Structure 1
Amino acid sequence: MKKLIINADDFGYSRGVNYGIIDSHRNGVLTSTTFMTNMPGRDHAAELAKENPNLGVGVHLVLTCGRPLLDSHRTIVDSNGDFRNLKFYKGAFTIDYDEVYKEWKAQIEKFLSYGLTPTHLDSHHHINSFGQMPEVFLRLAEEYSLPVRNNMDTEKTKDLIEKEIKTTDSFAYLIETSLKNKAALDELFAESESVEVMAHPAYLDKKLLSTSSFTYPRVDEVEFLTDPDRVKLIESRVDIVLTTFEEL
């Protein structure tokens, strides 16, 4: 049986994001999400996670949004103590990777403090694939015995196999094309037995509108993931099962 994981990033960003994710799970085909433990909607997200035990919840490691959990950093924060913008990492950059390790470990521990069990690790803005971040990312995956998102280059994917870290066979960025119709599903699994499709469903609230450049398409994603025809399309497939990273 082929395994399909539909994962929503940014759980914990805000209440509007949280509700969009939960509706996409309860009323649609969303199976998984990843939790931002440094954002203002985190307590609300933890409550919703406990109320929805069939939703797989992993940790969305953050380095480019909001403020860190630790206040001892010097190289991964700006003069205000906020995380540096993603643009900082798109050029040549120099940071202390030990700060990244300590911050990400603190974020995982914060998640565990809610009494939740993580299903996997990924990162905000795919920052785990920049510079030497993959080494830190995989170190933590090994330390906590967690599966990870398969969004790194080929060499790092080989490391996953050597380290026996679980991941999906492939990773898709766009739900609109990956889950569009029967032909798209066939293509998605043409060479893979397990696939993660990334999503960003949300309802718009002031926090999201004032701090994110990606807003209105998120509402479309809620509609897409809960569309009755799409639910029927995916759930009617006898060769595909909707699941979470826990079942890899």
Structure 2
Amino acid sequence: MKKLIINADDFGYSRGVNHGIIDCHQQGVLTSTTFMSNMPGAEHAVRLAKENPDLGVGVHLVLTCDRPMLDTHRTIVDVNGVFRSLSFYKGAFTIDYEEVYAEWKAQIEAFLSYGLTPTHLDSHHHVNSFGGIPQVFLTLAKEYGLPVRNNMDVPPGFKTTDSFSYLIENALKDGEALDTLFEESDSVEVMCHPAYLDKKLMATSSFTYPRVDEVEFLTHPEIIRLLKSRSDIELTTYKGI
């Protein structure tokens, strides 16, 4: 049986994001999400997670959005104490990786403090794949015994999917696309970002209206019918691989 994880990033970003994710889980084919401990919608997301125990919830480690959990950083924040932007990490950069470790450990511990059990680790903006950050990411995955997203070179000994897909509209559009998705893989994670637009999202994210399209896609009757009709594919979470 092939294993398909449909994971929504950014759970906890805002109430609009949270509601979009939950609708895609309750009314559509979304199986999994990852939680941002440092964002204003975090407590709202926790309540929704506890109300939807079948939804797999991992930790979406943040280094490029809003403010950190800790106030002791010097190299991963700007002069105002806000996380540096993604563009900072796309060039040559110098940071104290101990700060990354401390911050991400604080984010994981914050998640655990809510009484939730994480299914896996990934990161916002794929920052876990930049520079020396993968070493920090894998150190924490090993420390907490968690699977990781397959968006980087994952060494032996770490649990992950066989492959990872960025675009739900291409990966899940029809039966032929599904066949291609699993051509060389027994387990696949497909990433998505469904949300309803609210003030927080509109004011702070460059990725907005496509999120509403993703809600429509993931709850569309034809997409639900397509995936439910495939006896060779199981919709699951990281717990199921």
Q: TM-score range by the shorter chain?
A: over 0.9
The code of the aligned residue for 2:57 comes to V
2:69 partner SS? coil
Q: What CA deviation, in whole Å up to 9, does each residue of 1:105-162 have, x standing for no partner?
A: 000000000000000000000000000110000000000000000000xxx32x2x1x
Give the aligned partner of residue 23 of structure 1. 23
Q: How high is the sequence identity, in percent, across the aligned residues?
A: 76
Tell me by how many angstroms 1:103 deviates: 0.2
The code of the aligned residue for 1:245 comes to Y
Tell me by how many angstroms 1:165 deviates: 1.3
Tell me by how many angstroms 1:175 deviates: 0.1
The code of the aligned residue for 1:76 comes to I
Give the aligned partner of residue 230 of structure 1. 223
Give the aligned partner of residue 41 of structure 2. 41
- Map 1:5-154; keep pairs closer than 5 Å: 5-152=5-152
Q: TM-score, normalised by structure 2?
A: 1.00
CA distance in 2, matches of 1:120, 1:106: 16
Give the aligned partner of residue 203 of structure 2. 210
User: Which aligned runs of 4 or more in structure 1 are off by greater than 2 angstroms?
Assistant: none
Give the aligned partner of residue 171 of structure 1. 164
The unaligned stretches of length 5 or more in structure 1 are none
The code of the aligned residue for 2:49 comes to A
CA distance in 2, matches of 1:87, 1:214: 15
Tell me by how many angstroms 1:247 deviates: 1.2
How many pairs are equivalent? 241
The code of the aligned residue for 1:22 comes to I
Give the aligned partner of residue 197 of structure 1. 190
CA distance in 1, matches of 2:225, 2:164: 22
1:44 partner SS? helix
2:4 partner SS? strand
CA RMSD, aligned part only?
0.4
Tell me by how many angstroms 1:31 deviates: 0.2
CA distance in 2, matches of 1:133, 1:52: 32
Q: TM-score, normalised by structure 1?
A: 0.97
CA distance in 2, matches of 1:108, 1:139: 13
The code of the aligned residue for 1:135 comes to Q
